Amino acid sequence: MNKKTGFAATTFALCLGLCSIGRAMAAEAASIGPPVVVTATRFEDDAARYPVGTSVITAQDIGRSAATTVPQLLQSLAGVRTRDLSGSPNVQVDMRGFGLFGDQNTLVLLDGVRISENEQLTVNWSAIPLSSIERIEIVRGAGAVLYGAGATGGTINIITRAPERNARSAYLGGGFGSHRTREAQAGVNLGGEHAGLSLHGSHYESDNYRANNPVLIDNAQGDLRWRGDAGSVTLKFGANDQKTGLPGAISEAQIAANRRQAATPNDFATQRGGHLNLAAQTQVRGATFAMNAGYREKDTTSSFFVGTPFRNNVDTQMQVWTFAPRLRLQPRFGGGEHSVVLGADVERWTFDANAQPSVVGRPHATQRSDALYAQYTVRFAGATTLALGAREQRVRYAVNDAVQAGAAGGRSRTLHAWDLSARQALMPGVNVYARIGSSFRIPNVNDNYNLFAATVNVLEPQTARDVEAGAEGRIGALRYRLAAYRLEVRNEIFFDPLAFSNRNLPPTRRQGFEAEGRWQVNASVDAHANYTYADARFRDGQFGGTPIAGNRVPLVPRHAVNAGLGWAFLANARADVEARYIGSSPFDGDESNTFGHRMPGYTVVDLKLGVRAGSWQINAGVRNLFDKKYFSYGVYTGFPTYAALPAAGRALFATAQYTFR
C-alpha cells in the first residue's frame, strides 16, 4: 500500500468509525443548531446548509476567555498555532502547519474584506478591539475559490458588531495588570428601526515582560448602517495607532542568564492605519445582490541595527482598493434546494518604502488582481449536500527600485482554483463530509525584493491541492468535529537563510488529524477539548547541498492539545480554566534536520473569574498560571546553539465594565 492509498484508507476508516459511534448513541442524539455564517458562501446563511465545516468563536466565548487579543482566542483551536516572531503584539497565526510563512497561507478577513498583508508582515491584530467583535468564523482548508490567494491553510473572518435595532446603550470600562499594563474601552450603540450607529474604541499600554518591549495601542471601529425592507447599506470604518519596542531574539546563553533582557535595546516600530468598507445588499425577484467597496492604508516606521554600526530606519506606505460585487440565486427544482453564487474581486495594491542609511533599498511595488468565481450548491431533502466551485484570477505583480539601476521585475499570471465537496447526514447528530480542491499564493513584495541588498528576484506563484474528510455533529450534550487532511504544495515560497533571500521550494506535504469536542456537563458546568496532529515534510530537494526529502518543516509541532473547563458556580459568577499544550518542533533554519535539538514543547494554563453585578461586569485572572518558561519561536544559529524570543511569564489582570441602558 502506497502513502496516498494508506491516507485514503485511514480517512475512510475514520468515517466508518464515526458512523458506528453515531449508531451506538443514536438514542441520545439531538439535532444541532449551527450558527449563521458568511464565510462559506459570502452571504449570511445557516452553516449546516453547506458541506464545508465552520468553527465559530462567539461573543460569549470571547467574554469567557482570558484572551486580550484575537490571536490569543485563536490559539486554543484545533489546527491553529500562534508564534511570536518579533516581540510585537501582532503575532503570527498559522493554520495547518506552514511554519515561518504561516500567516502568508492563512487568509484573514475583516467583515469579509481581506486584511492579510502583501508584505512579509503579520496581520495588524491589535487594530481590532475585542469589544467590537460579534463573532469569528474559521474555515480550515483551502478557501481560494471564494477568496483568492493566501487561503491554502484556511480562512479567518472577523465579524464586527452591528448596531442593535431599536436600542440605545453605552459601556465604559478599564483594567490593569502585571508589567504596568493599563487599558480602557468605551462604546456606544444608537439603533433605530431603520438606521443605526455603533462605535467602539480602546486604549492599551504595557511595559510587557521583556526589556525594550513596551507597547502603546489606540484603535477605534465604527458601523453606520441603514436597513430597509428591500436591503441594507453599511459603512464600516476604523483607525489604529501602535508603537512597540522590539527586544529581538536572544541567545541560548542569554536566556539562561536573564530571559527578560533585550538583544536590541533601542529597536522599535510604529504603525498607523485606517480602513473604510462600504457594503450594500438587496433582493430583487428572488435574487440577492451584494457588494463591498473597500479602502485600507497603512504607514509604518521601524528603527533597528542589523550587521552595521549604523541605526537603520525604514518607512513604508501601503494602500489597497477593493471592489467585490456578487449575486446569489436560489432556484428550487428537482426536489432540491439550489444556490448559485457568482462574483468578482478587483484589487489594486501599491507599496513604497524608503530605507537609510546602510539599508539602501527604495522599492516601489504594485499588485493588480482581477478575478471571477462561481459556486454551486445543492441540498437534497436535508440529508445530502453537494458543492462545486471554480475561480479564475489574473494577477500582475511587479517591483522596482528607484535608485538601483536594473533592480526591477514583474510577472503576469492567470491562476485557477477549484473545489468539490459533499456532506451526508447519516443519522441525527452524525454528518460526514469530504472535499478536494486547489489553491494558490501570490509572492508578496518581500518575496520578490531583498531590502538589504536592493535586488529583485521575482518568484513564481505557489500552488497546492488538498483533500479532507471527516465528521461533525451533536450527540446528546456533546458537539464534535473530526477531520483528516492531506495538502501537497508546489513552488512553496520560503526563506532560504543560506542565501538570505526567498525562493520557490521543492514540493512539500502537510497531512494531519484534528479532533475537537464541547460537552455541556450540566446546567452549570461545560468542558471542551481538542487535539491536533500535524505532519509537515519536504518531499524533494536540498538545502545548502544537503538532501531534505522526508525532513520535517521547521516550526511545525506534530502534537497540540487544548482543554478547558467552565463552572458557573453562582447565577452571576463563573470561573474558566484553559490548558494549552504545544509539542516540540524543529528550529527555524534547521531544514536539514541536523541540529539534533528541537524547540521544546510546553504547557500553559490560564484562569479567569467573572462576576456580573447589575450593570457591572468584573473580571480577574491569571495568564500562564504556573509561570512556564517557554518560547514559540527559535532559530538555529549554528551548532550547538540557537536564539529565541522568550514568551511572557505569569501575568495577572483585572477589568471592570459598566453598561448604560
* pLDDT one-digit tens code per residue, 37-78: 788 889 988 777 778 778 899 999 999 998 889 999 999 999
Mean model confidence pLDDT for the chain: 90
Provide the pLDDT for residue 44: 85
Which of these, 587, 304, 591, lies nearest to 452 by C-alpha position? 304
Domains and CATH numbers, the chain: 3-660 (2.40.170.20)
Dihedral-angle region of residue 395 (phi above 0 means left; psi in -120 to 50 means alpha; beta otherwise): beta
pLDDT band at 34 (very low <50, low <70, confident <90, very high): low
User: Cα 124–128–130 angle (5° rounding)?
Assistant: 135
Asked if residue 163 has pLDDT above 70, the reply is: yes
Residues in contact with 367: Cβ distance below 8 Å, sequence separation at least 6, in sequence order: 118, 347, 348, 349, 395, 396, 397, 398, 442
Which CA distances in Å does 72 have to 66, 93, 371?
8, 10, 33
pLDDT band at 25 (very low <50, low <70, confident <90, very high): very low
Asked if residue 154 has pLDDT above 90, the reply is: yes
Mode of pairing for the β-strands spanning 154-160 and 106-110:
parallel
pLDDT per residue as tens digits for the range 284-295: 888 999 999 999
The grid coordinates of residue 188 equal 456606544
Provide the pLDDT for residue 24: 33
Provide the pLDDT for residue 53: 73
For the chain, percent of residues with pLDDT exceeding 70: 92
pLDDT per residue as tens digits for the range 502-531: 788 778 999 999 999 999 999 999 999 999
pLDDT band at 124 (very low <50, low <70, confident <90, very high): very high
Asked if residue 11 has pLDDT above 70, the reply is: no
Strand ranges (E), 192-286: 195-206, 215-227, 231-245, 250-251, 268-284
546 or 609, which is more confident = 609
Asked if residue 4 has pLDDT above 60, the reply is: no
pLDDT band at 540 (very low <50, low <70, confident <90, very high): confident
- What average pLDDT does range 577-593 have in this prediction? 95
- What average pLDDT does range 251-276 have in this prediction? 96
pLDDT band at 450 (very low <50, low <70, confident <90, very high): confident
Which of these, 242, 240, 262, lies nearest to 251 by C-alpha position? 262
pLDDT per residue as tens digits for the range 359-400: 667 899 999 999 999 999 999 887 899 999 999 999 999 999
Q: Report if pTM > 0.85.
A: yes
Q: Are the C-beta atoms of 294 and 275 separated by less than 8 Å?
A: yes
Provide the pLDDT for residue 32: 32
pLDDT per residue as tens digits for the range 201-243: 999 999 999 999 999 999 999 999 999 988 999 999 999 999 9
Provide the pLDDT for residue 500: 63
Total number of residues shown for the chain: 661
pLDDT per residue as tens digits for the range 302-355: 988 766 666 788 899 999 999 999 999 998 887 788 999 999 999 999 999 988
- What average pLDDT does range 9-38 have in this prediction? 40
Count each helix (H run) and each strand (E run) in the chain, helices first: 6, 41
pLDDT band at 16 (very low <50, low <70, confident <90, very high): very low
